[in-house]
Amino acid sequence: MPDLPQDSIFTLNRESDIDQFLHSNHKWVNSMNSAHPVLFDQYNGKGQDPHTLLISCSDSRYNENCFGVLPGEIFTLKTVANICHADDLSLLATIEFAVLQLKVSKIIILGHTDCGGIKTCLTNKRKDLPSQNCGHLFKYLTELDTLVNDVNKKNENNFVDLPIEEKSKILSIKNVENQFNNINTIDTVKEGISNSTLQVFGMLYNVNTGLIEKCV
């Protein structure tokens, strides 16, 4: 468990009951209505017209809000370690929905620093997952484990001697590049790029600062 401050700034916790979730929802609706009185009634209530598909990690520390957008702007798929297997039915369906039905003009693959999936492979803890009843996660992280082994083996710029946070960030960027390449093999994406209706970007969110940098 991370060492977080005792007096939490967070809204809910593991002990919160469902009434507290609903109460929190009401407070959020009130704040949204104060800031954007027309959002629900005149925009979200009439349908969605998102401009972008965001594919990010399932990590709780970031989502589409890091671009400062409102509900209705970004269509989102979150996967562990933002892995995009080109044969993943959920990914393919999401891309078809976003690109062909909703006509988004951009796909952004947004990885992040301090990624748990990457760190699990980097610290050689992936091998312990099957004994922790996490066999699916073990299998799912195979691609990242291969990436970690490759980067260690190549040892460019003395990678093996770097502090773990630096290693982790380098691997997060390489993972974004790999997922960017995976996405670009999908027919729907290739067609969108070739007819100039779609652009694909790979980016990294920094959990320490909230800032985003472009990778590819």
Q: How many residues bind Zn ion (CB under 5 A)?
A: 3
59 has binding-site annotation: yes
Q: How far is the CB of 144 from Zn ion (least distance, A)?
A: 10
Taking CB under 5 A as the criterion, the residue among 53, 54, 57, 122 binding Zn ion is 57
121 has binding-site annotation: no
Residue closer to Zn ion, measured from CB, 61 or 139? 61
| Residue 59 binds to Zn ion (criterion: CB under 5 A) | yes
Distance, in Å, from the CA atom of 66 to the CA atom of 63, rounded to the nearest integer, reads 6
Specify the stretch interacting with Zn ion by CB under 5 A; choose among 5-13, 33-41, 58-66, 187-195: 58-66
What is the token pair recorded at 80?
Answer: 């562990």
115 has binding-site annotation: yes
**Judging by DSSP bridges, how do beta strands 106-112 and 52-57 pair with one another?**
parallel
57 has binding-site annotation: yes
Residues 141-200 that bind Zn ion (CB under 5 A): none
| Residue 115 binds to Zn ion (criterion: CB under 5 A) | yes
Residue closer to Zn ion, measured from CB, 57 or 74? 57
Q: How far is the CB of 196 from Zn ion (least distance, A)?
A: 32
What is the token pair recorded at 8?
Answer: 């939490």
| Residue 203 binds to Zn ion (criterion: CB under 5 A) | no
Distance, in Å, from the CA atom of 205 to the CA atom of 93, rounded to the nearest integer, reads 25
Where does this chain bind Zn ion (CB under 5 A)? 57, 59, 115
Residues at the binding site are: 57, 59, 112, 115
